[in-house]
Amino acid sequence: MALEFSPETLKKFTATVARYPKKEAAMLPVLYLAQQEFGHLGPEAIQYVAKLMEQAPARVQGVVSFYTMYNTKPIGRHHIQVCRTLSCALRGAEQVTGFIKHKLGIECGQTTADGRFTLSEVECLASCGTAPMMQVNDDYFENLTEEKIGEILDGMK
C-alpha cells in the first residue's frame, strides 16, 4: 500500500501550509512531519510529499539530500550524534566517539543489530563551552565523561 499521512498528521500538514505566505515555503516542516510519520524519507515518502506539495519528486529529493537531518534510510531508535568540530576535538571528542564505538561495537554510520542505536559524527552543534558533547535524538548531553556516556546510553532502551 502506498504511504500516506494519518488523518491527524494530515490536519497538521494543512495547518502548517496555511501559516506560510506560499505553499512551497512549508517544505522543510512538511518533510519533518513525513519523517516523523514514516520513520525515514525513502523514495515512496518523497513521492508522497511531492504530491502533497505539488512539486516534482526530483525537487523534493534535492531538498532532502541537501540537509543532514533528513534520513533517507532507517536509523536506530536512538541516534547518537557526537560533535567532532574543533572546540569539542580540543576537549576529547575523539575519545568520546572511540568509547561509544567500543561500547556498542559499531562504527560511525552504523546501527546496532538490535536497532537500538545509530552512531554518527556531526559538525559543531553550538555547545562548545560544554565540550565534549553529543546529541541523542532531540536532546543535548554536555561535558561528557566515559562514565556519564555509559549511564546515558544504558538508560536508553
Binding site for another protein (CB under 8 A): 19-22, 24-29, 31-32, 53, 59, 62-63, 66-70, 84-87, 89-91, 122-131, 135, 138-140
Q: Are 118 and 65 in contact (CB under 8 A)?
A: no
Cis omega (within 30 of 0) on the bond before 29?
Answer: no
Q: Give the cell for residue 8.
A: 491527524
Query: Residue 14 CB, nearest distance to another protein (Å)?
Result: 16
Query: Residue 101 CB, nearest distance to another protein (Å)?
Result: 18
Q: Are 144 and 132 in contact (CB under 8 A)?
A: yes
Give the largest Cα separation in the chain, rounded. Answer: 50
Residue placing its CB nearer to another protein in the complex, 70 or 99: 70
Residue placing its CB nearer to another protein in the complex, 124 or 150: 124
Residue placing its CB nearer to another protein in the complex, 54 or 114: 54
CA distance 145 to 157: 20
Residue placing its CB nearer to another protein in the complex, 67 or 155: 67
